[in-house]
Structure 1
Amino acid sequence: MMTATHGVNVLIVDDSAVVRQVMSELLLGDKAVASVASVADPIFAMRRMEKEWPDVVVLDIEMPRMDGLTFLKQIMQQRPTPVIICSTLAEQGADVTMKAMSLGAFGVITKPKMGLKGFLLDSANDVVSVVKAAASARLKNIVKAAAKPPMLKAAVPRNSAAPRQHRRNIVAIGTSTGGTQALERILVALPVEVPGIVIVQHMPEKFTAMFAQRLNSLCQIEVKEAEDRDLVLPGRALIAPGGRHMQLVKIGGRYSVNVIDGPLVNRHKPAVDVLFRSVAKIATTDAAGYILTGMGDDGARGLLEMRQAGADTIAQDEASCVVFGMPKEAIELNAACRIITLDDVASEITEL
């Protein structure tokens, strides 16, 4: 982890000379970055890391001599380090990237096959932000969440200071960086008898479908990428598709979702605020909202609207977050009724 006494040392492992050059220039333009080294494949990277271990690794997946997944496994076994996957938007790239996230990768930078230099320059702020966030992340929480999820704790009565008023039929979850591991840890621990769940995880197009499929294969509940007019049913979790916003609606007494296009909100699409605001308007006191680990402030104002509408609102605590950004902003806005650890989220949802 980066400390206050030195800047971030980054190692870029990518067989594209364009990626190595442009990303190095972008990162070195930020005063928080002390040094950037770049190599063409994991074999060269291993030799360099024997001499100097980086704070953050930016890793391509498809490379000669050794693929990125194999290298990622070695890093996590030898010395767990924040690794950012630099992957194409292709469907195959999305599948492999989701496997990398399950192994403990910190995050993903997507790249097109064409127009690579222009894309990286346009995305300069996002690239630098994710590398800086990785350097200060609580990596132990990524590794812990990527391990076997915990057994569900027995339901316990609430503290008398925060009594449950009634059953909640809608659970809304918003998360970003570190969220893929956190959501897997939560959803795998849920029994089928839980309220309908709607989720926004900041993730590019194509990736959410792969993510939902992976979770569906692991969970007792049904997990799917949301489609327009999907019903929100007990024992089902709907994940907003990458590149589209998701809103809760109620027609004929039944909850469902609208999947819509629109501008970026808080620099994201899907945006947590779009979902939370719709839940505040439609479900009011029938909902519980959870804001989990993530960079930025998306979801904080929406969670506040949920609380003002009578929903139960919860923020993940700092100690269990990978990045304490979104929950921190929500807490500072007084949007959260309570603050709990990640390991308690599944138990709470099951109590509902």
Structure 2
Amino acid sequence: MAIKVLVVDDSSFFRRRVSDIVNKDPDLEVVGTAVNGADAVKLVAELKPQVITMDIEMPVMDGITAVREIMAKNPTPIIMFSSLTHDGAKATLDALEAGALDFLPKRFEDIATNKEDAVLLLQQRIKALGRRRIYRPLTRTSAPSAPSAKAKLTSGLSPSSRTGRETATSLRTTTLIRATGKKYRLLLIGTSTGGPVALQRILTKLPANYPHPILLIQHMPAAFTPAFASRLNGLCKIEVKEAESGDQLKPGTAYLAPGGKQMMLERGGVHGRIKVLAGSADMNYKPSVDITFASASKIAGRDTLAVVLTGMGADGREGARMLKSAGATIWAQDEASCVVYGMPQAVAAAGLSTHSIGLEDMADAILRESGNG
């Protein structure tokens, strides 16, 4: 059965354009369109779509307000269309915090180098979200969830697992990790779709005196990473900044890879130094988790704890393989708490991760393993 999609935009041209792209895929079907957020809220209740594409700036009710209402009344996966500007970045981050799960540039020429790739990417994103259950977003007023009292080895599995068809590549969910006593020098976190909210959930739980530097690799456009780093810095006890070439790594500081570029670790100072390179045109991901992980394997090696969070594709698997060979510890987010179980699944299926951990428990596990728990 085709995934039902609701298209929301005040531009009739853009509604038609998105609808045509969606309907070209036999696995997708546009079941309705809305011209503003208020109409969208009503149609979601009536049509029960499985995915919504949403504009941000609309009359009557804007997209961010509509996301909040939809998530409160009829939670549904939502993809935001955004302009690649500073204001567009801030608005998109607000929408993700309100409950949207993904975003794409509104100008299709910014999505991919050719029209066919852009069309395929939008269809893939919709299908990926249409297959997933909703994972509740973090709001600024949300209280942190208490850690579980004991390991839940099979709780929170995907619908297919609950019906007895657990996939061979899905590890058991572990919510309480016993610290190994290993000493670390560096924490790496790589993510994509669903990553902004996942990173916020983890980083806001880390204390200001977290003992290691942190490198963050989030698939995100260049216009978005400065705003995202600034937002995280305002919410977290640790310092968060967009990485720059020459940054000397400091404990208790997280360095976000700049969008459209590659972040590498090189020797220098006590903990290492960051080198930022222009993103090669032939690279699928800019920034790439694989590239940062690979560089860290040569500098920090076994003294690294690397975590792969929610995201489409397999970026991070080969970098994790290099880290593993160097003696590093690799963890993956569990399937149940991922927006898209792609990147963590690739790492888990390759036998590189030692634990598959729920998002709500990831920060506590990191703190215990780092000696802060």
TM-score normalised by length of structure 1: 0.89
Measured after TM superposition, the shift of residue 182 of structure 1 is 0.8
- Residue number in structure 1 paired with 2:67: 72
Cα distance between partner residues in 2 of 1:55 and 1:189: 32
- Residue number in structure 2 paired with 1:220: 237
Decide which moves more: 91-100 or 141-150: 141-150
Percent of aligned positions that are identical: 38
Q: Structure 1: which amino acid aligns with 2:298?
A: K
Counterpart among 191, 199, 204 of residue 175 in structure 1: 191
Q: Is the 8 Å Cα contact of residues 206 and 367 (structure 2) preserved in structure 1?
A: yes
User: How many corresponding residue pairs?
Assistant: 343
What whole-Å deviation, never above 9, does each CA across 1:78-129 have from its counterpart, x for those lacking one? 1111111111111111111111111111110112399999976551121111
Q: Is the 8 Å Cα contact of residues 264 and 271 (structure 1) preserved in structure 2?
A: no
Q: Structure 1: which amino acid aligns with 2:239?
A: E
TM-score normalised by length of structure 2: 0.85
Structure-2 change in CA distance of 1:77 and 1:196 (3 Å): same
Cα distance between partner residues in 1 of 2:207 and 2:236: 8
SS of the residue corresponding to residue 312 of structure 2 reads coil
Are 1:310 and 2:323 matched, yes or no?
no
- Residue number in structure 2 paired with 1:209: 226
- Residue number in structure 2 paired with 1:10: 5
Q: Is the 8 Å Cα contact of residues 13 and 58 (structure 1) preserved in structure 2?
A: yes
Q: Is the 8 Å Cα contact of residues 28 and 36 (structure 1) preserved in structure 2?
A: no
Cα distance between partner residues in 2 of 1:28 and 1:210: 34
Q: Is the 8 Å Cα contact of residues 297 and 323 (structure 2) preserved in structure 1?
A: yes
Structure-2 change in CA distance of 1:168 and 1:118 (3 Å): closer
Cα distance between partner residues in 1 of 2:207 and 2:42: 46
CA RMSD for the aligned pairs? Answer: 2.7
Are 1:272 and 2:321 matched, yes or no?
no
Structure-2 change in CA distance of 1:265 and 1:256 (3 Å): farther
Measured after TM superposition, the shift of residue 252 of structure 1 is 4.3
Measured after TM superposition, the shift of residue 75 of structure 1 is 0.6
Which sections of structure 1, spanning at least 5 residues, go unmatched?
A: 1-5
Q: Is the 8 Å Cα contact of residues 204 and 235 (structure 2) preserved in structure 1?
A: yes
SS of the residue corresponding to residue 258 of structure 1 reads strand
Counterpart among 17, 22, 35 of residue 17 in structure 2: 22
- Residue number in structure 2 paired with 1:104: 99
What whole-Å deviation, never above 9, does each CA across 1:223-264 have from its counterpart, x for those lacking one? 111111112211100111111111111114441211111325
Cα distance between partner residues in 1 of 2:188 and 2:235: 20
Which sections of structure 2, spanning at least 5 residues, go unmatched?
A: 151-175
Cα distance between partner residues in 1 of 2:324 and 2:111: 43
- Residue number in structure 1 paired with 2:201: 185
Measured after TM superposition, the shift of residue 77 of structure 1 is 1.2
SS of the residue corresponding to residue 25 of structure 1 reads helix
Counterpart among 139, 142, 147 of residue 148 in structure 1: 142
- Residue number in structure 2 paired with 1:3: none
SS of the residue corresponding to residue 137 of structure 2 reads helix
Q: Is the 8 Å Cα contact of residues 19 and 116 (structure 1) preserved in structure 2?
A: no
Q: Is the 8 Å Cα contact of residues 266 and 298 (structure 1) preserved in structure 2?
A: no
Counterpart among 113, 120, 124 of residue 125 in structure 1: 120
SS of the residue corresponding to residue 43 of structure 1 reads helix
Cα distance between partner residues in 1 of 2:292 and 2:218: 11
SS of the residue corresponding to residue 123 of structure 1 reads helix
Q: Structure 1: which amino acid aligns with 2:25?
A: D
- Residue number in structure 2 paired with 1:88: 83
SS of the residue corresponding to residue 329 of structure 1 reads helix
Measured after TM superposition, the shift of residue 324 of structure 1 is 1.1
Structure-2 change in CA distance of 1:145 and 1:40 (3 Å): closer
Q: Is the 8 Å Cα contact of residues 265 and 271 (structure 1) preserved in structure 2?
A: no
Cα distance between partner residues in 2 of 1:113 and 1:294: 21
Cα distance between partner residues in 1 of 2:110 and 2:355: 46
Measured after TM superposition, the shift of residue 330 of structure 1 is 0.5
